[in-house]
Chains A and B, each alone.
Chain A
Amino acid sequence: MSKEWPLWEVFIRARNGLSHKHVGSVHAADSRMALENARDTYTRRLEGVSLWVVPSSQIVASDPGEAAALFEPAEDKIYRHPTFYTVPDHIKHI
């Protein structure tokens, strides 16, 4: 039966101020069930303060075959990394 239920991707906001992060997926027949299944599967240990569920079929993914063209050109551009700056101690979450 579970095979007939569509797949949903689950995102959790761990704390206010942080962004939602992908944590996994659940099967569910509708959006309410997806939220509840996500709650019961992924937030049992106080993992979050907010949940998003998105139908997996709605995710548009990049083609692994194009990975070279998409990502490799960034490899030799280390000047784009913020490592040349000193981050003040009181700035968190960077």
Chain B
Amino acid sequence: MTPSSGALSDYAARLGDDSLILGQRLSEWCGHAPALEVDLSVANLALDLIGQAQHFLGYAAELRGQGEDADGLAFHRDVLEFKNCLLVEQPNGDYARTIARQFLFSTYQELYLDRLSRSVDPTLAGIAQKAVKEVAYHATFAREWVVRLGDGTDESRRRMAEGLDWMWRFVDELFVVDALEEGLVANGVAVDRARLRQPWDASVSAAFAQATLDPPKPHRAVLGGRTGRHSEHLGHLLAEMQSVPRAHPGASW
């Protein structure tokens, strides 16, 4: 059975929202990173993610068939319409907390895009094939920072552990398959996220061991991003991200 274009559009928008919101968050480091080189590295990750968002949201808009484009979805939706996972909207905190978020997300996203690159939907597969190379770098970059900070000084170790502890409650949501995705998984369009949990756990545990860090203590999972129930932080992020296109609709450079 072919999926309805509504379901497919919602699915593509989720993937786009994850990348867009994390890209916007990382952009906040621009000019504030601990070193010039780190500033460039983090901005590079942000640009990769925003590029992915452009593709996923562009596809979502095309499927909606209402004459919108990626920018329309990015800049003219309100907070309840965003379906990103809660992890990516969490504030940057210090650099270690940003790295914790990046490590947990990029490790998941690399596994996810690798599977999505074999989707029966050729557009999604094409976007994933391009993006998975970028994200493989993100995952390596973040893992090395986890090891560097975890196995570093007393202070860097403490900050790394605190960052992971803060972000840990948002991990479970990455692996929850809901009704929308169940249908898309069944016909080979979407990735079965639940099956990524085991390889993700293995990969993350190996990095913790290398960083000489104990895994964070279990937290009660916080869910809701996929249904538009977000933390208060997303509204603030959108207010900043959307302010210019909303003040000057249709403006171009």
A interface residue numbers (CB < 8 A to B): 1-2, 5, 26-30, 32-33, 36-37, 40-41, 44
A-B contact list, 26 entries, CB within 8 Å:
A1-B34, A1-B35, A2-B34, A2-B35, A2-B37, A5-B35, A26-B37, A27-B35, A27-B37, A28-B37, A30-B148, A32-B144, A33-B144, A33-B148, A36-B41, A36-B141, A36-B144, A37-B38, A37-B40, A37-B41, A40-B37, A40-B40, A40-B41, A40-B44, A41-B37, A41-B40
Q: Determine the distance from Cα of A28 to Cα of B144 in the docked complex, in whole angstroms.
A: 13
Interface centre among A30, A33, A44 (most CB of B within 10 A): A33
Interface residues of B in 20-51 (CB under 8 A from A): 34-38, 40-41, 44
Question: Which residues of chain B have C-beta atoms less than 8 A from A37's C-beta?
Answer: 37-38, 40-41
Which of chain B's residues have a CB closer than 8 A to the CB of A30? 148
Known: A1-B34, A27-B37, A32-B144. 17 other contacts (CB 8 A): A1-B35, A2-B34, A2-B35, A2-B36, A2-B37, A26-B37, A27-B35, A30-B148, A33-B148, A36-B144, A37-B37, A37-B40, A37-B41, A40-B37, A40-B40, A41-B37, A44-B44
Determine which residue in A26, A40, A41 has the highest number of CB atoms from chain B within 10 A of its CB, and name it.
Answer: A40
Report how far A2 CA is from B35 CA in the complex, Å. 5
Whole-angstrom CA separation of A28 from B40 in the bound complex: 13
Seen from chain B, the residues whose Cβ lies within 8 Å of a Cβ on chain A are: 34-38, 40-41, 44, 141, 144, 148
Bound complex: CA A30 to CA B156 (Å)? 15
Chain B residues, CB < 8 A from A26:
37
A41 to B35, CA, bound (A): 12
Q: How far is the CB of B103 from chain A (nearest CB, A)?
A: 14
CA distance A1 to B35 in the complex (A): 7
- Expressed in whole angstroms, the Cα–Cα distance for A63 and B187 within the complex equals 70
Contacts of B35 on A, CB cut-off 8 Å? Answer: 1-2, 5, 27
B38 contacts across to A, CB distance below 8 A: 37
**B148 — which chain A residues lie within 8 A by C-beta?**
29-30, 33
B145 nearest CB neighbor, chain A only: A33
Q: Chain A: which residue is nearest B36 at the CB level? A: A2
Could you say which residues of chain B place their CB within 8 Å of the CB of A1? Answer: 34-35
Question: Residue of A at shortest CB range from B37?
Answer: A37
Query: Which of A1, A27, A28, A36 counts the most B-chain CB atoms under 10 A from its CB?
Result: A36
In whole angstroms, how far apart are the Cα atoms of A40 and B141 in the complex? 11
Nearest-Cβ distance from residue B159 to partner chain A, whole angstroms: 13
Q: Which residues of B lie under 8 Å from residue A29 when comparing CB positions?
A: 148
Tell me the smallest distance from the CB of B28 to a CB of chain A, in Å. Answer: 18
Determine the distance from Cα of A64 to Cα of B55 in the docked complex, in whole angstroms.
Answer: 54
B78 to chain A, nearest CB (A): 34
Q: How far is the CB of B152 from chain A (nearest CB, A)?
A: 9
Set of chain A residues within 8 Å of B40, measured between Cβ atoms: 37, 40-41
Q: Using CB atoms, name the residue of chain A closest to B41.
A: A40
Bound form: Cα–Cα A40–B36 in Å: 11
- Residues in A neighbouring B144, C-beta threshold 8 A: 32-33, 36
For A42, the closest partner residue in chain B by CB is B40
